[in-house]
Amino acid sequence: MAKKRNRKFIFVIGGVMSAVGKGIAAASIGKILSARGLSVNLVKIDPYLNVDAGTMNPIEHGEVFVLDSGLETDQDMGNYERFLNRDLGPADYMTSGMVYASVIARERNLGYGGKCVETIPHVRDEVVNRLERAADTSGSDVSVVEVGGTVGDFQNQMFIEAARVMHLKDQGSVIFVMVSYLPVPGTVGEMKTKPTQNAVRLLNSYGVQPDIILARSTHALDKKRKEKLAIWCNVSPENIISAPDVESIYDVPLNFERDKLSDILLKLLKKRPRGESDLTEWKHFADHAHNGKREVKIGIVGKYFDTGDFVLSDAYLSVIEAIKFSSYELGVRPKIDWINAKDIQEGKLNVTSLSQYDGIIVPGGFGETGIEGKISAIKWARESRTPYLGLCYGMQLMTVEYARNVAGLEGANTTEINPKTKHPVIDILPEQKELMAKKNYGGTMRLGAYPCDLVEGTIAREAYVSAGASAKADGIVTISDRHRHRYEVNPDYIERLETAGLVFSGRSPKDERLMEIAELPRSVHPFMLGTQFHPELRARPLSPHPLFTAFIKAAIGRKQ
């Protein structure tokens, strides 16, 4: 019989309030453990009932992150992959909706053998099974599990209950980290520990005792308050880690290791590390975040600007991070400005004001808000020879602009905006038509990683090859990137667009008529390139995305 795997779990639970960096704390814990030679998977639990994050508006919930598998997830999964520098799988993500959907499906199939199916134990056990499956699928030594929300929320109790039961079954293998907040009220001017004491009590009432407290605050925790927390929360002082605000999220793992957090975690888990902490490469990267002297100015022309609950930058998180990684690699400091496409469209902002930027990005998006504004910005970038990177919608609209203004296809459009256009240069993917007719929206786009063949002598191929991509025996360079779209370049227009000078430098190997990258030759424009996929989803601190690097390089070139 195969030896039972010794699974280890670290549950990260929030106290006091949300938005204090629980995701970054979980990602950083993953990072410092993998720096000790252990293999780690990170799991995000989102307590909402959506079966995945795909149907949520980025203004309310932040960016939708897509895994290789095509699963649409919370943006925290992006942080996890960036910190761990590895791909995570669909087992590493769950929502209440997903958990309930599978329990109900099993009940419909008589999978519970005639029993009454209940939240406890059936839904709880489904959570436990999923967590164990995630650990086994990734074969990791340690799973770090972030429970979304804050202790006291009604929605996440089920998950904390699952964690409690796992701890009960194997006390040495399951530990709890509470990420709590210590306010410094302006009128008082001193850090208060009471909300955290109360949060721990609340967690205790669920039958869970934190082993470690990460004390998030604007300031570092002093000795007096550490001792106070220790006594009142029943946690030894050395297991209370000060986690003050930092300038860059990438400093967090380094700060944690200053307090030897990986030693503390491993001791509690009774797990031997494979070596001393090696964060050399990470430190090198994190230092770059502070060191770049020369600035490169990037303008992002988008639409998710009417911020709801989330801050603007959350809607485009991966794009921002991808810009940073490539900029740091090239030794420059990016300055990112947001340009509301609607303002250009409505004439509130003159498109020539874009001349202050070294590079322009039109990121992914849906629907018609600000579309003509985006197209004007693209036209301006093309004519002024300003480096341009189009991401998904940004590639489709770059194609529309080229069709209208260079290929002479008057009124060309995407059928997403004008289904009756005379020249539908961007059209719905055939398999998507049926899904739309049935209003089958959830998880049905062309999602996840697909291969793409790169055409010789193009900017795209050069960029990937200089980042290490190599040709197969047949001379073809195939790369893989992640998608999330329903529309594509209409195959009926490929030839006309090519004749007019647009180069399709990336194509799907399975269907040569599926265009994945469009670009202009360097003789015409220093860098004008758009991707049907989202390269930003694969950009990592320690492996920046080749296309972002090529774009930033061109932006630096323009500056000079």
- Per CB under 6 A, residues contacting ligand GLN are 364-366, 392-393, 396, 416, 484-487
Whether 363 contacts 391, CB under 8 Å: yes
Query: 324 or 485, CB closer to ligand GLN?
Result: 485
- Could you tell me the smallest distance in angstroms from the CB atom of residue 531 to ligand GLN? 10
Whether 541 contacts 282, CB under 8 Å: yes
Burial class (CB in 10 A: 0-12, 13-18, 19+), 1: exposed
- Could you tell me the smallest distance in angstroms from the CB atom of residue 66 to ligand GLN? 9
Cis peptide before 121 (omega within 30 of 0): yes
- Could you tell me the smallest distance in angstroms from the CB atom of residue 489 to ligand GLN? 10
Whether 237 contacts 212, CB under 8 Å: no
Q: What is the DSSP string of 278-299?
A: --HHHHHHHHHHHH--EEEEEE
- Could you tell me the smallest distance in angstroms from the CB atom of residue 72 to ligand GLN? 11
Order the strands of the 503-507 sheet from edge to edge: 332-340, 294-302, 359-362, 388-391, 528-531, 515-519, 503-507, 446-454, 477-485
Whether 178 contacts 14, CB under 8 Å: yes
- Could you tell me the smallest distance in angstroms from the CB atom of residue 536 to ligand GLN? 11
Spell out the SS3 assignment of 87-99: CCCHHHEEEHHHH
Query: 21 or 363, CB closer to ligand GLN?
Result: 363
Whether 39 contacts 136, CB under 8 Å: no
Whether 53 contacts 46, CB under 8 Å: yes
Whether 370 contacts 340, CB under 8 Å: yes
C-alpha span between 146 and 177 (Å, rounded): 10
Query: 59 or 101, CB closer to ligand GLN?
Result: 59
Query: 281 or 368, CB closer to ligand GLN?
Result: 368
Q: Which two tokens stand for residue 352?
A: 């020539």
Active-site positions? 392, 534, 536
- Could you tell me the smallest distance in angstroms from the CB atom of residue 509 to ligand GLN? 20
Query: 354 or 400, CB closer to ligand GLN?
Result: 400
Beta carbons within 8 Å of 299's beta carbon, 6+ residues apart: 336, 337, 338, 339, 354, 356, 357, 359, 360, 361
Query: 486 or 553, CB closer to ligand GLN?
Result: 486
